Amino acid sequence: MSQGGIVRFEDELTLTLCGEAGHGIQSVELLATALLKDSGRYVFSTKEFMSRIRGGSNSTTIRVASRPVDASLYRIDILIPFDRAALDHVRRRLSPETVIFADEDTLTGKEIPGNPVTIPMPFRKTAEELGNVLYTNMVASGFIAGLFSIDEKTLAARVRGMFTGERSSLADVNVEAARKGSESARRLVGAGGIAVEIPGDPAVHDYISINGAEAVGLGALAGGCDFVSSYPMSPSTAVLVFMAEKADQFGVIVEQAEDEISAANMVIGAWYAGARAMVTTSGGGFALMEETVGLAGMLESPLVVHLAQRPGPATGLPTRTEQGDLNLALYSGHGEFPRILLAPGTPLDAIELTQKAFSLADLYQIPVFVLTDQYFIDSSWTIPAPRFGENAPRLRIVETKGDYRRYRLTDEGISPRGVPGWGEGLVVVDSDEHDEEGHITENHGVRVDMVDKRLAKYAAVRQDAQAPELYGPEDYDTLIISWGSTGPIVREALRRIRRPGTSLLHFRQVYPLHPKTPEYLGKARRRVMVEGNATAQFERLLRAETGYGARDRILKYDGLQFTVDELVQKFEELDESEVGK
C-alpha cells in the first residue's frame, strides 16, 4: 500500500462502487448485499445514476455495519472506481481516510483530490486475463467478499445463482472471476494491509434485504391490491415490475396502459367493479392523472396512488430524487374533496402505510397517496421479516337491495358502497354532481348536501391520522421537522450531534395532519424544517394548518438525497446562526 501502515475498519464501513452504466455495478451491489447479509452484517445501500443506458458515471454506496443502519452517508471509506471518470465523479467525497482500490492505470496520472490512500488492484486486468473485460464487476464482487472474509463456497454458490438457464454457460468463468477477486483481498488481509472488524449478528438470519419498491409492493399485496394499471416512468416503474412479477402468484391484474390517463381511469373502473386498485407513477405521469383524482373525489371512489417523486418541473432529472411533489398531490384535481397523503421513511413504514392506504381508501372512499421518491425506491435495507397476520383484508362493500342509493346521505358522509352485479340494486356513479341515486342533477340544494357529505369525511379521517413520531426529549427547545424519506437520515444526524434540548418530529402522514400536531409544534422555541425541495412545501403546509412554521429551513434540491454527515454539519451551523423566534 502506498502510504504503509494498516487500514482498520471497526463496526461499520461505507463502500462505494462507481463506473459507467453497463459496467455491472448493480450486479455487484446485489451480490455484495446478499453475501454481506448472509454473513450476518446489516447493510444499507443507495445509488445515484444518470438517465442513460450506457456510459456516464453511476455510483452505489453500500454501508455495512454490525448494528442496524438505515441512512446514507456522504463519506466514503472504501472506493472501487471502474474507470478514471468514476473516480472524478465522486472526488468531493474523498478524504485521507478513504482507501481506493483500483486498477493501476486508474490511479496513475492526474492527482487524486482529497489525498486518499490508493491501493492498486487488478480488477480489469484479471477480467481481461479471463477473456472478457465484462467480468470486472465479478472480480470486484469477489474482492469485497474477501475483505469481509466470506468463504469462497458461499461466494461461488451466490455467483452461480446469478447465472441460471440460458446464462448457465457463463457461471464457471464468473465464479472464477469472483474467486480471483476474493483471493486478492484475502492476500491483502493476510499480509496485514487491511483489517475489517465488523462482526456479523446471528439475528440477521431472520432479516430480509428489501428495497423501497419491494416494500411498497409488499404493502400493496398485504393491502389486498389486485389491480395495477400504470404507464412506465422512473422511478415508479420498479413497483409496477414487482407487481407484474407477483401477478400470477397472487391473482393481480397488471396492465400497462397506453398513457397515465388511461391507467388512472382503469383503476377507478376497477374499484367500481370490486377490485382494490392502484396506480404507480411519478411527477409528470401523475400530472396527467390529476383529472382522475377529481373523478375519484366526485364518484367517492377509493383510489391508491403511489407517487415516486423526482425533480421537476416537466422531465426534470428523471433518475434523481426530490420531495417536490407534495403540493402537486395535495392540490391535485379541481374542486374540493378529502384525501390522505402518506409518506413512508423506512421499508417497514412503506409496507404498513401502503397496506393501510388500501383500507383507508376503501373505508372513506377517497384518494390516498403514498409519497415516496427515487432515493427511497432505489435504496435497500436489512430489516426484520415483516409479519402479515392471517387475516386477509376485506373489501367494504355491501350486497345491494332493490332501493339501493349509492350516495345515500349519512351523518359521517360515508354511504355503503355496492358493486354492480351483487344484489338487487343498481350502482350509479356520475362525474357530474348527482343525487343520492347517483343520477345527474343541477339542484343547488342537492349540490350543497353532496359537497357537505364529501367533506364531512374529514372529521373521521383526521381522527384516524398517523401521529407524528417524536425522537428525543419531550421537553425540547428546538424541534427539527422532517417527513417521508429523509426521516432516518435526520434521526441519525441528530443522534450524532447530541445537541441538548433538540428533538425530531417526523411525519409519516403529511395530510391531513394529526390533531396533536399544533401542540408538538407550539412547544418548541425554535423549529427547523428539513425538506428535499426548494420552497419548503411541508413547512408552508404546517404554517397554513397550524399557524406554526419554521424559520430555519434546511432545503436540498440538487437531485440528491441528504446524507447524515451533511446534516450533522448543517445542524452544527444552526448554533452559529441567530436563535429563531
Q: Which of residues 470-529 bind other proteins (CB under 8 A)?
A: none
Write down the residue that cell numbers 469462497 correspond to. 152
Does 389 help bind other proteins (rule: CB under 8 A)?
yes
521: helix, strand or coil: helix
CA–CA separation, 439 vs 421, rounded Å?
18
Does 272 help bind other proteins (rule: CB under 8 A)?
yes
Q: Applying CB under 8 A, which of residues 174, 182, 292, 503 lies at the interface with other proteins?
A: 292
Does 577 help bind other proteins (rule: CB under 8 A)?
no
The answer to whether the CB of 419 falls within 8 A of the CB of 427 is yes
531 has which bridge partners? 555
Cell of 46: 443507495
> Among the candidate windows 98-106, 148-156, 421-429, 538-546, which touches other proteins by CB under 8 A?
421-429
CB of 454 to other proteins, least distance (A): 17
Q: Applying CB under 8 A, which of residues 21, 134, 397, 446 lies at the interface with other proteins?
A: 397
158: helix, strand or coil: helix
Cis amide linkage into residue 313, ω under 30° from 0: yes
The answer to whether the CB of 274 falls within 8 A of the CB of 397 is yes
Q: Applying CB under 8 A, which of residues 427, 504, 510, 541 lies at the interface with other proteins?
A: 427
Cell of 480: 427539527
CB of 291 to other proteins, least distance (A): 6
CB of 258 to other proteins, least distance (A): 4
Does 428 help bind other proteins (rule: CB under 8 A)?
yes
Does 248 help bind other proteins (rule: CB under 8 A)?
yes
Residue type, 251: G
Does 536 help bind other proteins (rule: CB under 8 A)?
no
The answer to whether the CB of 275 falls within 8 A of the CB of 253 is yes
> Among the candidate windows 45-53, 327-335, 386-394, 541-549, which touches other proteins by CB under 8 A?
386-394
Q: Which of residues 295-314 bind other proteins (CB under 8 A)?
A: 295, 299
Q: Which of residues 346-385 bind other proteins (CB under 8 A)?
A: 385
* Residue number with CB closer to other proteins (123 or 207): 207
CB of 204 to other proteins, least distance (A): 7
CA–CA separation, 202 vs 66, rounded Å?
10
Write down the residue that cell numbers 383526521 correspond to. 462
CA–CA separation, 51 vs 18, rounded Å?
15
Binding residues for other proteins, total number by CB under 8 A: 74
Does 164 help bind other proteins (rule: CB under 8 A)?
no
* Residue number with CB closer to other proteins (423 or 518): 423
Q: Applying CB under 8 A, which of residues 42, 227, 337, 376 lies at the interface with other proteins?
A: 227
Does 38 help bind other proteins (rule: CB under 8 A)?
yes
The answer to whether the CB of 409 falls within 8 A of the CB of 379 is no
Does 433 help bind other proteins (rule: CB under 8 A)?
no
The answer to whether the CB of 261 falls within 8 A of the CB of 309 is no
Question: Closest by alpha carbon to 266, among 292, 248, 233, 234?
Answer: 292
* Residue number with CB closer to other proteins (7 or 279): 279
Q: Which of residues 167-226 bind other proteins (CB under 8 A)?
A: 204-210, 218, 221-222, 224, 226
Q: Which of residues 43-82 bind other proteins (CB under 8 A)?
A: none
CB of 417 to other proteins, least distance (A): 11
CA–CA separation, 48 vs 321, rounded Å?
9
> Among the candidate windows 69-77, 275-283, 332-340, 485-493, which touches other proteins by CB under 8 A?
275-283
> Among the candidate windows 75-83, 135-143, 315-323, 428-436, which touches other proteins by CB under 8 A?
428-436
CB of 139 to other proteins, least distance (A): 26
Does 261 help bind other proteins (rule: CB under 8 A)?
yes
Which stretch of DSSP H or E encloses residue 471? strand 469-471
Residue type, 530: V
Q: Applying CB under 8 A, which of residues 104, 259, 336, 452 lies at the interface with other proteins?
A: 259
Question: Closest by alpha carbon to 348, among 310, 306, 307, 376?
Answer: 376
Neighbours of 92 (CB within 10 A): 11
Q: Applying CB under 8 A, which of residues 68, 114, 120, 420 lies at the interface with other proteins?
A: 420
C-alpha R_g of the chain:
26
Neighbours of 11 (CB within 10 A): 11
* Residue number with CB closer to other proteins (10 or 432): 432
Cell of 447: 349540490
> Among the candidate windows 7-15, 110-118, 438-446, 498-506, which touches other proteins by CB under 8 A?
438-446
Give the chain's end-to-end CA distance (angstroms, integer).
54
